[in-house]
Structure 1
Amino acid sequence: MEDSEIEVMSEIHLGCPPATTGPILSRFTLSVPGHCISVDKDGDLLLPRRNSRRKIDCPSAQSFTLTIQHCIASTLRDVGLQVWKAQLLLSEFVLHKMCTSSQLHATVCLELGAGTGLLGILLARVAKAVFLTDHGDDILGNCAHNVEMNSSLFNPQAVVNVRDLDWMSQWPNNLDIHGDCRDPQKYCWSSQDFEQVKSASFIFAADVIYSDDLTIALFSMLKRVMSFGCEKVLYLGLEKRYNFSMDDLNVVANGYACFRSYIKEDGLCEQEERSFLGRRIDITQIPQYIKGYDRGEDVELWEIKYVH
């Protein structure tokens, strides 16, 4: 059996009854504290007055439920059809940021390896535009279906786009920018899409570090994406995945080692070349808004910039 045909299962789904046919629906109920901030249409803070009777609407300060269609298991090629642990952690980080600052409000956001779309659906509660990107018709179709199912949760101004992005390609290119995008099933890019992504302040990615080839392609893509338009910050969630290495005769996390080879820690960035400068975020400071899963000790969250 080829590696691409080996079935894998996210730890999130352990203990679930196996799906007999096709995908299943899971409902994620998120309950956030009532002390969330509120902002106006310009992104300015709305501070409640002591004697004011006006109710301040905060899109995050309430309980709400996301419905996600996903698979219990998949081949390695289709892991984007599952929900993974670091995706949940990054979603909680985004939700916490939405509750404690206006940083994500009215922004343009790009997600790489969006998978089921869970994170992008959360972003659409406050962002101006969200681009959910992945590769493969089945994954993109499932992501688009989840976006449609949860559209009632978006802020009225949000535009959510599901787009195909192959990290092995030289995106952007003429085919992407000027292709025939009249068929929504093609998930292709228009020139307007590309111009809007230039203004994206934030990039998100979760559970995309598990093979050297994919990690190398990811950072090649990031060099291009983070070099055009405005300054961009990447928030990346990952889980260390261990395997036995015959070369090392030990259990190692080779994918994580490949990732770290691209990252220079804060304060150690060499000024003579462009580098990825990373800061590991203390996840103990992020409340666990999504119940029913164990973060464990091998999940990390990074803030990464591409700097001189």
Structure 2
Amino acid sequence: MKHSIEGMTNLPQSFSIGAGGGLGGFGGVASPSLVGAVASANNDRNMQSAEQLVLDLTNPELRENALLELSKKRELFQDLAPLLWNSCATIAALLQEIISIYPVLSPPTLTPALSNRVCNALALLQCVASHPDTRMLFLKAHIPLYLYPFLNTTSKSRPFEYLRLTSLGVIGALVKVDDTEVISFLLSTEIIPLCLRTMEMGSELLKTVATFIVQKILLDDVGLDYICTTAERFYAVSRVLENMVGTLAEQPSSRLLKHIIRCYLRLSDNPRACDALRDCLPDILGDTAFQSCLRDDPMTRRWLQQLLHSVNTNRVPLQAGGFDHIL
């Protein structure tokens, strides 16, 4: 489709809509009503195609192709998420795809073909998680919990990396919208330990997505309070962030560093956490090690300056309830 559109933009003026020759040689530009009618017809065709593919999901013989086509074209189908959610047995079919590969997680025998198929199902669940009309229904059904076994895997093979990345994409879609109810649900599960594990052991892209999820949780007041309620939780997060900074000193990644600094800055909003950061904030953040990495990112440079200023000036006495006092 992209190639055909690009080809049309290179047509001679006499063949272009709105040129002197007009549409079909009748002169003038296409009327708004005609353009609207064409767009409406396209939408109708897309919707009919989507409805048929969604029906195919419940047929085991047609499901694999339906998963592939829907995942590839999900941006073209308006209101695909409500259609998926409200169609009979569709979500059950997607969950069946997920559950079916649990046996190959341990020992790790997941093949590329199986990984691609289940990731297509996860892409459709991400669509449901992103839509405002289905997001909370998705949570109330506790569907994210079905993804956690994937995040618990440790195999470095490409099928498993792809599986973990797509699973994190579903969680990332949930937290992109600033919603305390979403954060509260995730905190009632084991999402923080799973993300911390990925931040320690995953590839750069996996680390980036997992750190983004932790960042979005911290940016919510409920999430910040949860992390800073106990010394154990705070030091679990800060220790992983510190290790990641050490790794980035050898293998810089401006995108990942941005999320790490934002996590630290948000932690510094809590008085006890800010006090504790005086002792556990990596010294390397205060020198010139990352200057070149942040050269083209003025916002992250400001975040880092604000972080260093907060940690160096806002010290809370231990008797006021610092983490050292708790320990």
Work out which structure has the larger RCO, using CA pairs closer than 8 Å and 6 or more positions apart in sequence.
1
TM-score by length of structure 1 reads 0.27
The structure where helix makes up a greater share of residues is: 2
TM-score by length of structure 2 reads 0.26
